[in-house]
Chain A
Amino acid sequence: MTDRPALDATPLHAKHYADGAAFVSAPIVENVRLARDTYRLRFEAPAIAATITPGQFVMVRLAGIDDPLLGRAFALYDVSDDRAAVDVVYLAHGKLTTALASRQPGDRVEVWGPLGNGFDGDEREIDALLLVAGGIGYTPFLACGAEALGLKEYGLVGGVSDADDASPPQKTTRPRLAAKSVTFCYGVRTLDYLAGADAFRAAGIDLRIASNDGSVGHHGLVTDLLTQALEESSDRRRRVLCCGPEPMMEAVAEICLAEQVRCDVSLETPMACGLGICFSCVAKVKQPDGEWDYKRTCVDGPIFDASQIEW
């Protein structure tokens, strides 16, 4: 399996095949409620925990049953301090996530990952990293913000999962996001859906909240918070990362385009496999010729430069 032609550079191939992925049956370590209908699932999967990076995702499936049949995609929320377990946060609102909410420690899930590209680093340090999320779209940003501030590193490989492996841990060559400050503009429906606020504050992230009904933070849109954060940082090198409902991401992309600030979005399109084999999760992505083409979010994303998306 070693002397195959190196064809991945051709434009017809996707950019991010799941070459580092493992498929594992993972015991649940914790499954705790964070907010209304919102839970953090921790499962033991050293092979995934050792390599996954912020913005990447895993597919999770309930082991041993055919209904629900397919896995669901969940962004990396965090990796446990002992690098043995992966955390994801989910909203219990569908068939799988509702069933998942009643699973107990020791129960098993089937998991495959890491998948997708993750947030792209930059050659030079950013002064102000601005994160924008709506609802459950907040989940990729704890790991992302913590890493950007130098508090935690993800994606150490080698010597982690296998006790007999004598090779020392190595850092991946992935360029990491690094920023002097991280501001997180977080929009929620209502106060009772607000999840993870303490974790973000503990990581030194400047957390700003908006809610639809004014029950917490700014009474209005999360884009109001972004506009203000952009004004405050107008003399600094900035970058925006965004995840949430599509109309919100489109609005954020428009604001960033007008401000000439690079904006990356994490797309959540319905996905059956996460691996690039089902062609379900396509999004309209602009091509070099100016036309758009359907690209698989799982193996060409899920993180895209917002200016490349045909909304």
Chain B
Amino acid sequence: MPHGPEAPSPTAPTDVDLSVTLGRLQLPNPVLVASGTFGYARELASLVDLSRLGGILPKTVTATPRQGNAPWRTVETTGGMLNAIGLDNDGVDAFIECHVPYLASVGCPIIASVAGKTREEFVELVRRFDAVDAAHRPAAIELNVSCPNVSGGVDFGSDPALCEAVVRDCVAASDLPIIAKLTPNVTSIATMAKAAEAGGADALSLINTVLGMAIDWRKRRPLLANVVGGLSGPAIKPIALRCVWQASQAVRAPIIGVGGIANINDAMEFLVAGASAVQLGTVNFYHPTASMEVLDALPAALAEIGATSVSAIVGSLNH
């Protein structure tokens, strides 16, 4: 039966060590914002103290510009939303020229999110960031091998051999820490986590969106122009939590939990389930200051269960 630690010793919130280590990547705290839910960070500069974040993952960048899918691109569902943006972005050249100088100046770790159509394209994208001068180079790269809205995107996330190979190629191509972001739309998340770990990933981000659909029955039409899209928000939190827990049982690689995290309780649940850090995603759309509120509440939440560091509670689930 689950039971809490006996007589937790009271800890002053100020004594809590918030720093986390994910393979070769060191972060000042475990509260990150997820790719595709934070634009290029500049958009939220007036509402969020960007310098305090544990990390920012800007919108996924591809080798060449992509217009993205036709509208409607998003639709609200019960406790969540579906999106099929289609990796709308101006391409890696524009990203490095236009957004990287700003991102490098905000004062928190930047983790570039990349998506390639092929192994070669993933490697090329990783090399581009590796070649950026030291002052502007991101702290790490997250491989988006799990976007459900572009053809080719999910194969790397659902075929273990392909996933391992692309991670291995990218790790070999760069000195930067490599994170693999995995999809929950697979039979066994543990199998995919093992594959990414075998490829040498410094960490795994779990989960990307859950494939879903919404319909207007009167018009007999799908609500998304792309017909299907990725479900996110509080509705998917139990799925994400389950994936993090299952993966953490299968691999030693650190895990970044993502999926429906909206407040301090959600964040703490993921840490206890086995995540070493968390990414806030959809909540940025409807409560743009949520990351600051989670960060503010974190020391007291850790102290409440007698922890003096984040790492002390990672994977501490009693079962």
Partner-B contacts on A (CB < 8 A): 1, 3-5, 7-8, 10, 12-14, 17-23, 61, 66-71, 95, 110, 112, 269-270, 272-273, 275-283, 293-294, 299
Contacts and interface: CB of A to CB of B under 8 A. Distances in A.
A8 B102 CA distance: 10
Contacts of B101: 5, 7
Task: Place the interface of chain B in its size category.
Answer: 35 or more
B79 A280 contact: no
Contacts of A281: 71
Contact of A66 (B42, B90, B234): B234
Contacts of B251: none
B118 interface: no
A101 B73 CA distance: 27
B289 interface: yes
B88 interface: yes
Given A17-B42, A18-B47, 20 more contacts: A1-B51, A4-B106, A5-B102, A5-B105, A12-B98, A17-B43, A17-B46, A23-B289, A66-B262, A69-B80, A112-B47, A112-B288, A272-B81, A275-B39, A277-B288, A278-B74, A279-B36, A279-B68, A279-B73, A280-B83
Contacts of B79: 66-67, 69
Nearest to B39: A277
Nearest to A276: B43
Most interface-central of A7, A13, A272 (chain B CB within 10 A): A272
B78 A23 contact: no
Contacts of B181: none
Most interface-central of B39, B79, B262 (chain A CB within 10 A): B39
A294 B88 CA distance: 9
Given A7-B102, A279-B88, A270 B74 contact: yes
A283 B67 CA distance: 11
Interface in B19-37: 36-37
B81 A70 contact: yes
Contacts of B282: 69
B59 interface: yes
B76 A12 contact: no
A61 B45 contact: no
A10 B72 CA distance: 28
Interface of B: 36-39, 42-47, 49-51, 59, 67-68, 71-76, 78-81, 83, 85, 88, 90, 94, 97-99, 101-102, 105-106, 233-234, 262, 282, 284-289
Given A17-B42, A21-B47, A278 B285 contact: yes
Nearest to A299: B43
24 contacts: A4-B106, A5-B102, A7-B101, A18-B44, A19-B45, A19-B46, A20-B46, A23-B288, A66-B79, A67-B78, A69-B234, A70-B76, A70-B81, A71-B285, A270-B73, A272-B74, A275-B39, A275-B285, A277-B43, A279-B68, A279-B85, A280-B71, A280-B83, A294-B88
Nearest to A7: B102
Contact of B49 (A1, A270, A280): A1
A289 to B, nearest CB: 13
Given A7-B98, A69-B81, A69-B234, A275 B289 contact: no
Most interface-central of A14, A66, A69, A294 (chain B CB within 10 A): A69
B71 A278 contact: no
Q: Is the interface of B mostly helix, strand, loop or mixed?
A: loop
A269 to B, nearest CB: 6
Contacts of B37: 277-278
Contacts of B83: 272, 278, 280
A69 to B, nearest CB: 6
A184 to B, nearest CB: 29
A26 B81 CA distance: 24
Contacts of B80: 69
Contacts of B102: 4-5, 7
Contact of A277 (B44, B72, B73): B44
Nearest to B292: A23
Contact of A68 (B38, B39, B76, B262): B76
A1 B45 contact: yes
Contacts of A273: 284-286, 288
A269 B282 CA distance: 19
A14 B105 CA distance: 19
Given A273-B284, A277-B39, A299-B43, A13 B71 contact: no
Contacts of A95: 76
B285 A270 contact: no
B76 A69 contact: yes
A18 B43 contact: yes
Contacts of B289: 23
A270 B79 CA distance: 17
A24 B262 CA distance: 17
A131 B233 CA distance: 39
B284 A277 contact: yes
Contacts of A269: 71
Contacts of B47: 18, 21-23, 112, 275
Contacts of A7: 42, 98, 101-102
B292 to A, nearest CB: 10
Most interface-central of B50, B74, B285 (chain A CB within 10 A): B285
Contacts of A8: 42
A25 to B, nearest CB: 10
A13 B43 CA distance: 9
A283 B102 CA distance: 26
A282 B71 contact: yes
B233 A69 contact: yes
A272 B88 contact: no
Contact of B72 (A66, A270, A279): A270
B122 to A, nearest CB: 22
